[in-house]
A and B are shown apart, each in its own frame.
Chain A
């Protein structure tokens, strides 16, 4: 029983990480249909931001809290810059965007290597986040890592903030208007290019926040982004374009699935099974879990 509960919690925590890394994509890929392979490197930028801040802020706790907004701004700025330099020229060519941003991601990785060195760097986590709390005591206790709880909390907060922004603020309304009908939004006086850039800023900024969170559980190095990027895209593909709830549900389902399969088989087999499962799922629902139906021809 403890095993089942334990693996469920593990799955939820894996799901929280997945959600956090995919959340930014749900805006840039899900809403704007831009396949940004450099998203992983924006996560990396967030992690390195934490590392740099810790050099000047001694307290691990404070530096982590400071890193959250700073990383949001740093990665967001990188994203907006990328949008302005390249992506805005490519809105009609999503496949080319994929390859172009792959090139950007290569360059950003090498840049990180040149600035911070090829080896991973370390950050200190606040002591409270390296511990765990016991849910069920006894001989085989069920514990949950504080770092995972923190990430779960952060993921939930980010989802709530993003969906409130999209629903309630004028900016959110403009983003949705542009997503649904670009031409109409344009003639209604919305500056679509500003909206695009802002949306990209937010989506990339969320990647930066995810990067801060990842310093608690994983390595901080030039290749950390490539390790997660495909998983993040798969979450969106399975969840369905343009729907936040699809992203959320799928992140947690994949997390639990991964953890249960890992427990009963091996990590490699679990990964292969999850990937094959995704292909099979898309046979059943090629547009993902939730879709926005449109009348457009293509």
Chain B
């Protein structure tokens, strides 16, 4: 298992600095939560790690430098992510979605033939995320929570060693959250997981460690209890509640 090591990470868009010199270490097998108000730079951080936005500094995973590589190469080195709004291939079936996720390394010959049966890892992932029944339904017809599970399933068959999940339980019912949290705990037994989340209850129940981001910087880091006790965190969360929307818009416009 490998860990994530971020040093002096900076991302700016047209003069607006979204991530401003972040240092972050996630140990192998950790289940790390990234929290912080809207516009704190959480998603941008994940974007930078996965190659979606250009960044300065250094991001190493398992000792390999990721910055400067293209998105699909980073993905191939074992890093997967999900998105705030669940992004699955709506017109393909659940099975097809998973099969594609499992197949980045396939040979041209395999690609040009039909799928004869359900590959082992795909069957396992279907079981794990509880979508076996729905394997042949178009992903577009799934409920919101099911789509998010499908995304996690896709990361599983992709066999990533680092999962970066952006608000995986948004819009889920309490039971679904519980199930998702337990799933994440199981996954993190053999992989490294980073979760961006707003839901504090969810974080308290499942986080092994927490980093708080604010205005592009790491404000606080530690266990749930440590972070909650940090006066800087309390100030940010209470003092900035009103400013959240505007900050979000600023990022959108940048």
Name A residues whose Cβ lies closer than 8 Å to a Cβ of B. Answer: 180-181, 184, 293-295, 297
Chain B: interface residue count, which band?
Answer: 10 to 19
| CB neighbors of A among B73-90 (8 A) | 83, 87
Query: Do the beta carbons of B254 and A297 come within 8 Å of each other?
Result: no
Q: How close is A289's CB to chain B, nearest CB, in angstroms?
A: 15
Cα(A294)–Cα(B18), bound, Å: 13
A296's nearest neighbour on chain B, judged by CB, is: B252
Cα(A294)–Cα(B252), bound, Å: 7
Most buried by B among A180, A181, A294, A295: A295
Query: Do the beta carbons of B87 and A184 come within 8 Å of each other?
Result: no
Chain B residue numbers with a CB within 8 Å of A297 are 83, 87
Cα(A6)–Cα(B107), bound, Å: 60
Query: Do the beta carbons of B14 and A295 come within 8 Å of each other?
Result: no
Cα(A188)–Cα(B13), bound, Å: 25
Chain A residue numbers with a CB within 8 Å of B44 are 295
Name B residues whose Cβ lies closer than 8 Å to a Cβ of A. Answer: 13-14, 44, 83, 87, 249, 251-254
Q: How close is A295's CB to chain B, nearest CB, in angstroms?
A: 6
Query: Do the beta carbons of A295 and B252 come within 8 Å of each other?
Result: yes
Query: Do the beta carbons of B254 and A181 come within 8 Å of each other?
Result: no
Cα(A180)–Cα(B254), bound, Å: 10
Query: Do the beta carbons of A295 and B251 come within 8 Å of each other?
Result: yes
Chain B residue numbers with a CB within 8 Å of A180 are 252-253
Chain A residue numbers with a CB within 8 Å of B13 are 293, 295
Query: Do the beta carbons of B254 and A184 come within 8 Å of each other?
Result: no
Query: Do the beta carbons of B14 and A181 come within 8 Å of each other?
Result: no
Q: How close is A249's CB to chain B, nearest CB, in angstroms?
A: 19
Cα(A180)–Cα(B252), bound, Å: 8
Query: Do the beta carbons of A293 and B252 come within 8 Å of each other?
Result: no
Q: How close is A57's CB to chain B, nearest CB, in angstroms?
A: 48
Chain A residue numbers with a CB within 8 Å of B253 are 180-181
A293's nearest neighbour on chain B, judged by CB, is: B13
Cα(A184)–Cα(B250), bound, Å: 12
Chain A residue numbers with a CB within 8 Å of B249 are 181, 184
Cα(A294)–Cα(B254), bound, Å: 6
A188's nearest neighbour on chain B, judged by CB, is: B249
Query: Do the beta carbons of A293 and B83 come within 8 Å of each other?
Result: no
Chain A residue numbers with a CB within 8 Å of B252 are 180-181, 184, 294-295
Cα(A184)–Cα(B248), bound, Å: 11
A294's nearest neighbour on chain B, judged by CB, is: B252
Cα(A100)–Cα(B15), bound, Å: 40
Q: How close is B77's CB to chain A, nearest CB, in angstroms?
A: 21
Q: How close is A211's CB to chain B, nearest CB, in angstroms?
A: 35
Cα(A181)–Cα(B250), bound, Å: 11
Given A181-B252, A297-B83, 16 further pairs, Cβ under 8 A: A180-B252, A180-B253, A181-B249, A181-B253, A184-B249, A184-B252, A293-B13, A293-B14, A293-B254, A294-B252, A295-B13, A295-B44, A295-B251, A295-B252, A295-B254, A297-B87
Chain A residue numbers with a CB within 8 Å of B254 are 293, 295
Chain B residue numbers with a CB within 8 Å of A184 are 249, 252
Cα(A223)–Cα(B251), bound, Å: 45
Cα(A180)–Cα(B253), bound, Å: 7
B85's nearest neighbour on chain A, judged by CB, is: A297
Cα(A295)–Cα(B253), bound, Å: 8
What 6 pairs between A and B have smallest CB-CB spacing?
A293-B13, A181-B252, A180-B253, A293-B14, A295-B251, A184-B249
Chain A residue numbers with a CB within 8 Å of B251 are 295
Q: How close is A173's CB to chain B, nearest CB, in angstroms?
A: 13
Cα(A297)–Cα(B252), bound, Å: 12
Cα(A181)–Cα(B44), bound, Å: 19
Q: How close is A45's CB to chain B, nearest CB, in angstroms?
A: 36
Q: How close is B75's CB to chain A, nearest CB, in angstroms?
A: 15
Cα(A297)–Cα(B44), bound, Å: 12
Q: How close is A291's CB to chain B, nearest CB, in angstroms?
A: 10
B83's nearest neighbour on chain A, judged by CB, is: A297
B251's nearest neighbour on chain A, judged by CB, is: A295
List 18 interface pairs A-B (beta carbons < 8 Å), by A numbering: A180-B252, A180-B253, A181-B249, A181-B252, A181-B253, A184-B249, A184-B252, A293-B13, A293-B14, A293-B254, A294-B252, A295-B13, A295-B44, A295-B251, A295-B252, A295-B254, A297-B83, A297-B87
B245's nearest neighbour on chain A, judged by CB, is: A184
Q: How close is B151's CB to chain A, nearest CB, in angstroms?
A: 13
B16's nearest neighbour on chain A, judged by CB, is: A293
B87's nearest neighbour on chain A, judged by CB, is: A297
A176's nearest neighbour on chain B, judged by CB, is: B253
Q: How close is A79's CB to chain B, nearest CB, in angstroms?
A: 28
Chain A residue numbers with a CB within 8 Å of B87 are 297
Cα(A150)–Cα(B83), bound, Å: 53
Cα(A93)–Cα(B87), bound, Å: 18
Q: How close is A207's CB to chain B, nearest CB, in angstroms?
A: 29
Q: How close is A273's CB to chain B, nearest CB, in angstroms?
A: 32
A298's nearest neighbour on chain B, judged by CB, is: B87
Cα(A181)–Cα(B254), bound, Å: 11
Chain B residue numbers with a CB within 8 Å of A181 are 249, 252-253
Cα(A184)–Cα(B245), bound, Å: 10
Q: How close is A199's CB to chain B, nearest CB, in angstroms?
A: 19
